[in-house]
Amino acid sequence: MPSLTATQLLSLSVLLMSTTMSNSMPIHIQWEELFERQASNCYPLSLDQAKQLPGWGKLEQYAKDTWGEGGWNIVTNPEDFRDRPANACIEVARVPLQWSQQPQCSKSTAEIQGKSVGTTTKVAFDIEQGTEAKTSLSVTRSSSITNTVSFNIGFSLPGGLDAGVDTSFSTTLTNEQSKTTENTSGKINKQHYEFDNEDGKQCKMTVETSDCAATAVGRVPVVAKGFVWFNYEDRRAPKADPNGGEHYKYSASIEEVLNEAERTSWIDVQGPVNTVTKANYETNCVKAGAGKKAAPKKKGGEKEKEGGKKPSSGASAPPKKGEPNAPEPKGKDPKKPGPKAPAAKPKPARK
């Protein structure tokens, strides 16, 4: 075996160290995450509800095949076997929605003139920008294996909306026919811009609004878990073990006898999704303060003043004080060799 160099040894020890660390610290976090994920909503499953399971017949047949026919009393959640209950659980954290009606979008554009600020030559704008998605979901079919329970659940919208919408949200859903729940995700903010008025140029902003309407559908699985008890009128041994111990009461595991589909009863939801996206760009505007201080003009920066469209950060952060609204020319970075590409090349406000 070749001997290890000092560097190799060092990296080996670093590797070992990081392994040890990842074994101790993050596991703690993982447990917490697991716990959150496992915070499922489970509700006691009554016999009548169990009988609504798609696979109920199969479960009964399993009991007959395993312990035989004859008089029996079927129960769930018996007092004398609390360690073998039956539940209906909503375990998914997020349900993906689908379009039953594809998004229909329309666009409109509005020009906004700036307001003079006091007696100065400044011009100011208060403009809305951002994206908002409003979703209203109604229960079109409730699950038959649980009561009128309410629980928190996440939904995610499919693609196709005319904007970079925040496509997931959470809401309180109630297992009740026609019950509606709403959520608004994303946000439209008012943004304040200030520019210097330059002689002979009219600084203005254009706001583009895009509205989309669609209909979404989704299914929330409610899954049965645990045991169903078959209490026979007479003591008996299992059919497979005729000489084995005799009992009155036998329990069948729902998870072991039924597959996922056979023990799932869905909550179906459907409803409208409406999104509004507002983006803006400026024309002929000079960033406040840029002219007066005779700030050194970069070559690329000249382009801004030619009256071309210049994006002003669609739904992103507001321009910071003292920084041009347009992206900084890349060539300014002393670490990077100056790129040939013109700096303040207008980017589209939205993709």
Ligand X SMILES: *[C@@H]1O[C@H](CO)[C@@H](O)[C@H](O)[C@H]1NC(C)=O
Residue 70 φ/ψ, nearest 5 degrees: 120, 180
* Runs of H (alpha helix) within the chain: 6-38, 47-50, 56-67, 254-257
What are phi and psi for residue 42, nearest 5 degrees? -115, 140
In the complex, minimum distance from the CB of residue 331 to ligand X, in angstroms, rounded to a whole number:
41
**In sequence order, what are the beta bridge partners of 44?**
87
Residue nearer to ligand X on the CB measure, 267 or 344: 267
Closer Cβ to ligand X, 183 or 215, answer by number: 183
What's the min distance (Å) between Cβ of 137 and ligand X? 11
Binder of ligand X out of 131, 185, 265, 270 (CB under 6 A): 185
Tell me the closest approach of the beta carbon of residue 274 to ligand X, in angstroms. Answer: 15
Q: Give whole-number Cα distances, 84 to 44, 76, 78, 143, 257, in Å.
A: 11, 9, 8, 23, 15
- CA pair distance 216, 245, nearest whole angstrom: 55
Instruction: Let me know how many helices (H) and strands (E) the chain has, helices first.
Output: 4, 15
- HSE-up (13 A, CA, CB side) for residue 60: 16
For residue 172, the minimal CB distance to ligand X (Å) is 6
- In degrees and rounded to multiples of 5, residue 164 shows phi and psi of -80, 75
- Please report how close the Cβ of residue 147 comes to ligand X at its closest, in angstroms: 21
Shortest distance (Å) from residue 88 CB to ligand X: 23
The nearer residue to ligand X, 185 or 284, going by C-beta atoms, is: 185
Which is closer to ligand X, CB of 112 or CB of 188? 188
Q: Of the two residues 136 and 183, which places its CB atom closer to ligand X in the complex?
A: 183
- Cα(111)–Cα(205) distance, integer angstroms: 6
Residue 13: CB minimum distance to ligand X, A: 44
Beta carbon of residue 59, minimum distance to ligand X (angstroms, whole number): 37
- State the amino acid at position 164 in one-letter form: G
Residue span binding ligand X (CB under 6 A) among the ranges 21-29, 166-174, 251-259, 308-316: 166-174
For the window 3-42, what string marks contact with ligand X as x by the rule CB under 6 A? ----------------------------------------
Of residues 40, 52, 138, 171, which one binds ligand X by CB under 6 A? 171
Q: Which span sits near ligand X by CB under 6 A: 39-47, 49-57, 85-93, 169-177?
A: 169-177
- Judged by CB, which is closer to ligand X: 46, or 183? 183
Of positions 46, 144, 174, 183, contacts ligand X by CB under 6 A:
183
- Span interacting with ligand X, options 115-123, 165-173, 193-201, 274-282, rule CB under 6 A: 165-173
Integer Cα distance of 275 and 163 in angstroms: 9
Min separation Cβ 185 and ligand X, Å = 6
Q: From CA 44, how far away is CA 89, in angstroms rounded? A: 9
Q: Choose the stretch contacting ligand X; rule: CB under 6 A; options: 9-17, 137-145, 164-172, 257-265.
A: 164-172
Q: Which of 314, 318, 302, 304 is nearest to 348 (CA)?
A: 314
Applying CB under 6 A, which of residues 169, 227, 250, 281 lies at the interface with ligand X? Answer: 169
Residue 151 Cβ vs ligand X, minimum distance, rounded to whole Å: 12
By beta-carbon proximity to ligand X, the closer residue of 137 and 228 is 137
Binding ligand X (rule: CB under 6 A), the pick from 13, 18, 73, 170 is: 170
For 138, 182, 220, the CA distances from 174, given in Å and listed in that order, are: 9, 12, 11
Pick between residue 129 and residue 185 the one whose CB is nearest to ligand X.
Answer: 185
Q: Can you read off the two tokens belonging to residue 137?
A: 């979901």
Spell out the residues 6+ positions from residue 145 whose beta carbon is closer than 8 angstroms to its own: 45, 49, 50, 52, 53, 88, 222, 224, 265
Q: Which residues fall within 8 angstroms of residue 347, CB to CB, at 6 or more apart?
A: 311, 327
Total binding residues toward ligand X, as defined by CB under 6 A: 5
Q: Please report, as ranges, the residues that interact with ligand X according to CB under 6 A.
A: 169-171, 183, 185
